[in-house]
Amino acid sequence: MNSGVSSPDEPSPSQEKKYDAIYAVVARVPFGCVATYGQIATYVPRCTPRQVGYALARLDTASDVPWHRIINREGRVSLPGSAGTTQRERLRAEGIAFNRRGQIDFARHGWTDDAS
């Protein structure tokens, strides 16, 4: 029966599923490569870069998703504080190098979905 819960459209699972699409694309990024929020949003219909950033922000640093491979269009980490430092460390551990300005060269590590 009712159990006291109406659950008209159970929003909880629905939202998680939507984020799952974003995580799936992020997980598609190979080792030693990086992608931008817009790039991820491009692979997820009805999803905007804002949404991607929000989905990743809701993630945990110990998540199974390689969120550290996601950077902004400037080729730089957008995470504030220690979180950004941690991301740089991870990228560095994957063989990703930074420019003189601390930016990543997309021509060198820019991920392309040519394997789709």
Partner DNA sequence: CCTATGACTGGTC
Partner DNA sequence: TGACCAGCCATAG
Q: Binder to DNA among 67, 91, 104, 109 (CB under 7 A)?
A: 67
Rounded to whole angstroms, what are the CA distances from 24 to 19, 31, 52, 89, 95? Answer: 8, 15, 12, 23, 23
Position 86 contacts DNA (CB under 7 A):
no
Rounded to whole angstroms, what are the CA distances from 85 to 43, 47, 48, 90, 105? Answer: 27, 27, 25, 9, 18
Q: Which of residues 26-65 bind DNA (CB under 7 A)?
A: 36-38, 41, 46, 48-54, 56-59
The stretch among 2-10, 73-81, 90-98, 107-115 that binds DNA (CB under 7 A) is: 73-81
Rg (CA), the chain: 16
Residue whose CB is less far from DNA, 3 or 69: 69
> Nearest distance from residue 89's CB to DNA, in Å?
13
Residues that bind DNA (CB under 7 A): 15, 18, 36-38, 41, 46, 48-54, 56-59, 67-68, 70, 72-74, 78-80, 87, 101
